[in-house]
Structure 1
Amino acid sequence: MFHHDKRLGISVPFLKREWLDYPIEERQEIMHKWEMIRGKIPDRIQELEVHIIEKQAALNNEEDFDRSCQLNTDISELASVINDLWLWFRIVPDVYANEKMHQ
């Protein structure tokens, strides 16, 4: 149900069918695992922010144009990963969605 995303450094849900097509027990199991992973996202973001700060410090002292361009590219990629991690962090499917629709 989960696939490790090397770029993000976390496992992300990889569902083979629509969320509501899973039985509620399976949705609860998926949600439990996702909450465990999701709880680690802020720590992962902090790790990446440290790398950005290091690269920014290196950039401030870099005189080689090509190396400066590479550092800028690296910083941009890390910022992109952080943005994607925040998007994943905000994803919280409703386990009971199907039941609520029928009430």
Structure 2
Amino acid sequence: MTCVTERFFQYDSRLEVEVPSLDRDWDEYPSDLQEAVIVHWERIRAGIPDVIARFEKVIATLQERAAVEDDWDQVCKLYWEIADYASRINDLNILYRSDPELTSPGNSSTQTEAKTR
């Protein structure tokens, strides 16, 4: 499994999760390798709601600080941070909804690309 992690996933420090990093089209990988990648991806996906919850807490804290801040420049900085965390949450939600499927022999890549629910 370490091979799968190192070869097909890359840690994204902004999102604080590993993200898929494929070097070719999904249907070019053999089905056993696709299955190993999917198993690892499902483990990562299972943790995404926890990361989102952590980011939501950060946003709440930043909002509380902005509400009592008197320095306008500092308020702007806090809202930029809030926007950044909101963007991260959006990206994590997109990743969470990605749902790769195993490719059957003979299927075209348009039929087997990762689907979004």
- Report the TM-score when normalising by structure 1: 0.94
Tell me which residue corresponds to 1:78.
Answer: 85
Q: Please, which runs of 5 or more residues in structure 2 have no aligned partner?
A: 1-7, 109-117
Runs of 4+ in 1 over 4 A off after TM superposition: none
Q: Aligned partners of 2:61, 2:90: CA distance in 1, in Å?
A: 19
Partner of 2:113: none
Give the count of matched residue pairs: 101
2:27 equivalent among 2, 13, 20 = 20
Q: Which residue of 2 aligns with 1:66?
A: 73
Distance 2:107 2:64 in 1: 53
| 1:36-89 Cα deviation digits (max 9, x unpaired) | 001000000000000000000001101001100000000000000000000000
1:100 Cα offset (Å): 7.4
User: Identity across aligned pairs (percent)?
Assistant: 36
Q: Which stretches in structure 1 are left out of the alignment for 5+ residues?
A: none
Q: What root-mean-square deviation, in Å, do the aligned CA atoms of Structure 1 and Structure 2 show?
A: 1.3
Deviation of 1:17 after TM superposition, in Å, equals 0.8
- Aligned-partner Cα distance in 2 for 1:60–1:16: 46
Match for residue 4 of structure 1 among 8, 11, 27: 11
Partner of 1:88: 95
C-alpha deviation, 1:101, in angstroms: 3.2
